[in-house]
Amino acid sequence: MSATEVINPNKQMSGQSVRLLYVCDWPPSNFGGGPILMSRLLREYPPDTMTVLTSTRFARVSPREGRLHCDEITVPLSEGYGRFGLGRLRILLNWLRIPVIAFRVRQLIREREIAAILTVLHGQFCFAAALAGWMNNVPYVVVVHDDYVTDMNFLGRWLTRAVMRNAAHIYCVSPGMQETIRRNFGVDAEPQLPATDRHACPAARPAGREISIVYAGSITSAVEDNLKLLASLITSGKLSEGGVDAKLHFYTVLKQEQKREWGWDHPNIVFHAWVGQAELPDVLCNADILFLPFSFAPEERHTVMTAFPSKTADYLASGTPILVFGPEYSTLVAYARREGFGEIVMEPDGELLVQAIQRIARDAGHREMLSQRALTVFSKHHDIAQQRANFVRLLNTIVRETSPQAVSNRI
């Protein structure tokens, strides 16, 4: 079948939405940062014009919440771990499956008259998506949330370079990631910051003697040191010595033995079950301070210079005062300083952190300023409705400009 038979651009553009194929080893869902962001972006895309191709591995563990109401097709993918060298063998088998996945993508392109492909730079599915798109003259868009290339071998980096340079468009999660992509691959990417729906939160309430500090999200090496410092200020009583009592509320998953090892088995440190996206706005709106940390550890420098936590959008949408705690070179601090939101602490100093918390708790005018500024920044950069509209326009432009007729006119 020729390229002109695969795509009928006039037919594609006659409707409101391009026929889209999402190809990634994990499906859009509320499984973690990346899946949540893709779920939000695609949630209102017409289900009869979209297909999801994903892996059996992640389809099994991804929750139903956040999954899209469209056809979801799975292909086998092995677990990437195992003892006695089994993990390496499974990883090798996953790489060898790329042609098989690409063949399945090609079948779907033909069967469903796919006009554009959306993929995420993660695992092996992005390579299959790019290969099938190139073979069938179907444009593909790449989304880059995290850096999965630095630790790859030469072949992996070479393949990634080919994927990036042939993409019709590239989205990236932060300006730091944009610069990394430009430096490593010589291509431009468009920042697409984390976004969410606009919340209907009540007016900010006055902070009392006891305040609630909330952290909602995973505990990884990129935040662990900062969380430990904040928790120590609370458990040691140093924060209350300044006249402010606080409870630190975690909405995350942490094993009981880890809590004891870190000294977090304390009445002023409260752990809640992981909450779904529907319940999260209420949690954030009812807090006094939202804690947004990024690690000071030297080994995490590259991560904090390129990544951008998805929870940032939810924090901003709530209008609750945000405490940003991280190094000056991190994406979070640079962004907070540029946009003027959040109380910012740029040194791993407990005393400075105590002073920042006290300032938010005691100064009503300061709290109101932080609240209003957060809502303004959300409207400018993090409203998912705006991102969805921009994404649909992009797809229509790409399909129109890469149609055989448009290409022949340029020639």
* CATH code, domain with 392: 3.40.50.2000
Question: From CA 387, how far away is CA 193, in angstroms rounded?
Answer: 9
Mean pLDDT (whole number) for 102-110: 97
Pair 173, 227 in one domain: no
Give SS3 for 172: strand
pTM for the model stands at 0.89
Mean pLDDT (whole number) for 248-273: 93
- Any domain includes 83: yes
- Any domain includes 203: no
- Any domain includes 199: no
- Any domain includes 52: yes
Question: From CA 346, how far away is CA 356, in angstroms rounded?
Answer: 11
CB-CB contact of 357 with 289 (8 Å): yes
Q: Domain range holding 123? A: 3-193+384-410
Question: E-strand spans in 69-112?
Answer: 71-75
Pair 136, 264 in one domain: no
Average pLDDT score over the chain = 90
The sheet with strand 116-120 has its strands ordered as 71-75, 50-55, 20-23, 116-120, 140-144, 169-172, 190-191
Question: From CA 24, how far away is CA 54, in angstroms rounded?
Answer: 5
Q: Which of the 8 DSSP states describes residue 146?
A: S
Pair 39, 143 in one domain: yes
Query: What's the domain count of the chain?
Result: 2
Pair 310, 227 in one domain: yes
Question: From CA 261, how far away is CA 264, in angstroms rounded?
Answer: 8
Question: From CA 173, how far away is CA 144, in angstroms rounded?
Answer: 6
Could you tell me which residue, 247 or 199, shows the higher pLDDT? Answer: 247
**pLDDT score recorded for residue 13:** 36
**pLDDT score recorded for residue 15:** 45
